[in-house]
Amino acid sequence: MISITPNGFRTSQVDAEDISRARDAAEAVLAAAGITPEAAYAAYQAQWLEFDDEDPMAGAALTWIAARKAADIAITAGWRNENAEVLCDMSA
C-alpha cells in the first residue's frame, strides 16, 4: 500500500478524502503498468541511491515517478484552486 504525506504551502487544507484520491491515482498508474507499489518504490530507491537524480532513472522507477505525479495532480482535484502547491511524498 502507498503511504502519502502532503508537502507544500497548503497542507493544512488537505483532508483524508484528498489523500485517498491521491493514493487511488497513484495506485491506478502502478496497476496499469502491472507493477506493485513495493516493487516500484524499491526500484526508485535503488536508482536514487545510484544516481541521486531522477533524470537517468528507468523501468519501474519511472513508473513510480509517474504515480507520484498523478498523486500530485489528484490531491487538489476538485479544489477551488486546483493549482495550489501541494505535492505528495510517497512511500510503499
- Taking only the tens place, the pLDDT of each residue in 34-53 is 999 999 999 999 999 999 99
Query: Is the pTM higher than 0.85?
Result: yes
Whether 82 shows a pLDDT value over 80: the answer reads no
Answer whether 7's CB lies under 8 Å from 89's CB. yes
Task: State residue 57's pLDDT score.
Answer: 98
Confidence of residue 84 (pLDDT cuts 50, 70, 90): confident
Domain ranges of the chain: 3-91
